[in-house]
Amino acid sequence: MSPRKLAFELLQKAETNDQYLNIALDHALDASSLSELDRALAATLVYGVTERKLTLDYQIDRLSSRKANELDLAVRTALRLGLYQLIYLDRIPPHAAVDESVSLVPRRASGFVNAILRAYTRDPHLYLPEKEDLPTYLSVVYSVGRPLVEKLLAAYGETMTEEIFQGFAQTPDTTLAVNTLKTSRDALAERLSATPTPLSPNGLRVRGAVRALDGFSRGEFFVQDEASQLCVEALGANAGETVLDICSAPGSKSFGSAIRMKNEGKILSFDLHEKKLSLIRSGAERLGITIIETEAHDGREPISDLFGQADRVLCDVPCSGFGVLAKKPELRYKDPDVSQALPKIQRDILETACRYVKSGGVLIYSTCTILPEENEENVKAFLGDHPEFSLSPFSAGNFDCPEGMVTLFPHIHKTDGFFIARLCKNS
């Protein structure tokens, strides 16, 4: 199977199921016999078309007598693939982009696809709406669903919303957290020719396949965004302490905390889904971490035996995910309204988790979204009900948070969109 054919089939499946794109792509590539070069092209096409879907459909609407959403899925997908290559991939000859895309559709549709793509090659003009209709303009230019555009405009205003989308449009490096139980950041950075993270004291930025990097099999690092690393630093676990990670899968914050604790103490890592806990156990084994215990548990349900027993509790709650659009491009088209129930669930988890904190202990509330109702508004409501807790300033590497609560943005901090609130239980 060619890389374009693989991308063509995977993109069609992505339109009709809810599986995360990165997981589906990994499975498809593992099952293929493509060369490394062709695997890279397939991944570029899958992610690129997904990231630019609305921009590409706007071009189809201008070039075709039929709107993109009126076309057969196979035809629409072939046109997106062809236009993406013509517009965004300079190294692919136009004739190859056209011919290969035409070959993907049945003969009855080949003439139509050929005509649309060749029309673009004759006049390679990127059509965009007028900026006077700002929601439509932002939706098309940055390929983000209009409901999410309108949501962020209401929360952050015109200038910052566009800056946020510009941040999400940048391809992020892979960020590693160094396992200082086995090596140092300086030593690993030199060996991998990696760049230290500017904020987190324990991170490296790299490019390429993580599993192929020297030191992976020896457990010298794991993948963790810099924002998540800052969250671990805000939690601030120390050797010998008891830590609860309420919604822990896939485990990076548990791993980071265990490393901070020098693998001394106890971490209880919970998750609602039993099958996800195997990721934590296998990851801990690779990293040489022995203080993590896992258990399937709904964070909303209290465990009375743990009341007042934890030095530190981490609530990285289920969220809408609107801080990671650069890494999960399918979320660009998710309607925020489908996440309306989340703030209540998040508050319920926080209400339960706060009961585990010792007097003088620390409670972290975090998400990977930038929607205020899942972040600041939840924390303010919680503090109104719990005067025994208060926001606590924290520092992490080169990052200071004097207010004890912060939203990280890709265009400002060069991280995922992420929220951290550090709460201390008054003695």
Which pLDDT belongs to residue 22?
A: 84
224 and 176 in contact (C-beta within 8 Å)? yes
How far apart are the C-alpha atoms of 195 and 250, rounded to whole Å? Answer: 24
Query: In this structure, which topology does domain 225-425 adopt according to CATH?
Result: Rossmann fold (3.40.50)
Catalytic, out of 315, 368, 401, 424: 368
Low-confidence ranges of the chain (pLDDT < 70): none
Which pLDDT belongs to residue 17?
A: 82
Residue 255: what are its φ and ψ, rounded to 5°? -60, -50
Shortest CA distance to 257 belongs to which of 229, 285, 293, 296? Answer: 229
Which pLDDT belongs to residue 186?
A: 97
Which pLDDT belongs to residue 85?
A: 97
Which pLDDT belongs to residue 303?
A: 98
Domains of the chain by residue range: 3-122, 134-168, 225-425
Residue 242: what are its φ and ψ, rounded to 5°? -105, 125
pLDDT in tens, 54-110: 999 999 999 999 999 999 999 999 999 999 999 999 999 999 999 999 999 999 999
Which pLDDT belongs to residue 19?
A: 74
pLDDT in tens, 259-317: 999 999 999 999 999 999 999 999 999 999 999 999 999 999 999 999 999 999 999 99
Among this protein's residues, is 368 annotated catalytic? yes
Which pLDDT belongs to residue 18?
A: 74
* Terminal CA-CA length for the chain: 64
How far apart are the C-alpha atoms of 272 and 276, rounded to whole Å? Answer: 8
Pick the CATH number of 3-122 from 3.20.20.80, 3.30.160.270, 1.10.10.410, 1.10.940.10: 1.10.940.10
Give the SS3 label for residue 92.
coil
- CA angle 298–301–304, rounded 5-degree value: 125
